[in-house]
């Protein structure tokens, strides 16, 4: 079931990433709303009013950033975050963190792809690094085993799995460089950073779920759990990818900043 779900969802994600524009923005917006809703359920703050307020704010942010109004999207996000905190009351810190988590995923995912020159290649690079880290970590951890990475947070993860995922991500960078998409050394360094950040994002999500005694964020995806379970590494990696691209080439050319050295 896990494999079948991946065989359906991965091509769909790639197709919409290739299409870009409003189709990609729509997918990212819907997923970000789902991330926020799942976060609220995990932390025990999933009221109708809170979920509704966050959903409206995230939807408006997606519309604004897709239309090129980044400053407006940020203003909407700040206002939405304040409203979420006011509604959440006793759990305002957790609710605000969840809103920021979903909003960051939204903005980074759309902005990296919006780069007309290198947006698709940058997005595919991030996706493949995250997928390679997950798959390499799974097989290395299962076949080699050994000491646990952080047993109190994620009992099944091992150091061998972490290293296996890291090495698999470097293979992705090598593949891109071999195809003439970017220079080898910078891409290897970027893939190393993204792989580590992706694994850290996975551990962060595991720590949150363990804090609230939750196994899966939901049962939305057969064999995978919820959106948070499937996208924890991607959210961290795409945010870091956008930061790297933004520092080098600015907010609207983050794809080029990530891939062109």
Match 């071999």 to its residue by tokens. Answer: 178
The answer to the question of residue 4 being in a domain is no
Match 């959210």 to its residue by tokens. Answer: 235
Residues 69 and 127 grouped into a single domain: no
The predicted pLDDT at position 5 comes to: 77
Question: Please, what sign has the CA dihedral across residues 225, 226, 232, 234?
Answer: positive
Residues 122 and 232 grouped into a single domain: yes
Residues 110 and 86 grouped into a single domain: yes
The predicted pLDDT at position 9 comes to: 86
The predicted pLDDT at position 240 comes to: 98
The range of the structural domain enclosing residue 134 comes to 117-261
Hey, what's the torsion of the CAs at 224, 148, 130, 242, to 10 degrees?
120
The predicted pLDDT at position 219 comes to: 83
Residues 51 and 88 grouped into a single domain: yes
Residue numbers in the chain where pLDDT is lower than 70: none
Residues 110 and 123 grouped into a single domain: no
Residues 131 and 239 grouped into a single domain: yes
Q: Where does the chain show beta strands of DSSP type E?
A: 148-150, 154-158
The answer to the question of residue 223 being in a domain is yes
d(C-alpha 141, C-alpha 113), whole Å: 32
The answer to the question of residue 1 being in a domain is no
Residues 254 and 125 grouped into a single domain: yes
d(C-alpha 105, C-alpha 188), whole Å: 23
Match 């891939």 to its residue by tokens. Answer: 259
Pick from 71, 97, 114: which residue ends a domain?
A: 114
Beta bridge partners of 220: none
State pLDDT tens for residues 225-255.
Answer: 899 999 999 999 999 999 999 999 999 899 9
The answer to the question of residue 13 being in a domain is no
Count of domains forming the chain = 2
Pick from 94, 114, 134: which residue ends a domain?
A: 114
* Contact predicate 38/218, CB 8 Å: yes
The predicted pLDDT at position 1 comes to: 74
Residues 27 and 44 grouped into a single domain: yes
The answer to the question of residue 260 being in a domain is yes
Residues 145 and 257 grouped into a single domain: yes
The predicted pLDDT at position 38 comes to: 96
Number of CB atoms found within 10 A of residue 167's CB: 16
State pLDDT tens for residues 160-190.
Answer: 999 999 999 999 999 999 999 999 999 999 9
Residues 154 and 63 grouped into a single domain: no
d(C-alpha 26, C-alpha 1), whole Å: 26
The answer to the question of residue 72 being in a domain is yes
Residues 27 and 153 grouped into a single domain: no
The answer to the question of residue 2 being in a domain is no
Residues 141 and 218 grouped into a single domain: yes
CA-wise closest residue to 41 among 185, 226, 168, 224: 226
Pick from 86, 114, 142: which residue ends a domain?
A: 114
The answer to the question of residue 96 being in a domain is yes
């Amino acid at each position: 079931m896990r494999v079948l779900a991946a065989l359906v969802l991965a091509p769909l994600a790639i197709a919409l990433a290739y299409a870009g524009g409003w189709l990609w923005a729509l997918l990212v917006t819907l997923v970000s709303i789902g991330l926020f809703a799942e976060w609220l359920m995990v932390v025990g703050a999933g009221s109708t009013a809170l979920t509704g307020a966050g959903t409206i704010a995230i939807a408006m942010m997606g519309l604004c950033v897709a239309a090129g109004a980044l400053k407006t999207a940020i203003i909407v996000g700040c206002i939405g975050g304040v409203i979420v905190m006011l509604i959440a009351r006793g759990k305002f810190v957790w609710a605000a963190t969840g809103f920021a988590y979903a909003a960051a995923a939204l903005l980074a995912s759309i902005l990296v792809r919006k780069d007309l020159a290198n947006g698709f290649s940058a997005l595919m690079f991030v996706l493949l690094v995250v997928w390679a880290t997950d798959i390499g970590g799974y097989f290395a951890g299962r076949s080699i085993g050994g000491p646990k990475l952080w047993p109190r947070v994620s009992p099944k993860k091992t150091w061998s799995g972490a290293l296996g995922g890291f090495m698999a991500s470097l293979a992705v960078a090598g593949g891109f460089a071999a195809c003439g998409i970017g220079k080898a050394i910078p891409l290897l360094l970027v893939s190393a950073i993204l792989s580590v950040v992706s694994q850290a994002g996975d551990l962060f999500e595991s720590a949150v779920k363990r804090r609230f005694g939750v196994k899966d964020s939901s049962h939305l995806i057969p064999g995978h759990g919820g959106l948070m379970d499937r996208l924890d590494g991607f959210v961290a990696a795409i945010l870091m990818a956008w930061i790297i691209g933004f520092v080098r080439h600015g907010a609207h050319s983050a794809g080029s900043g990530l891939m062109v050295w």
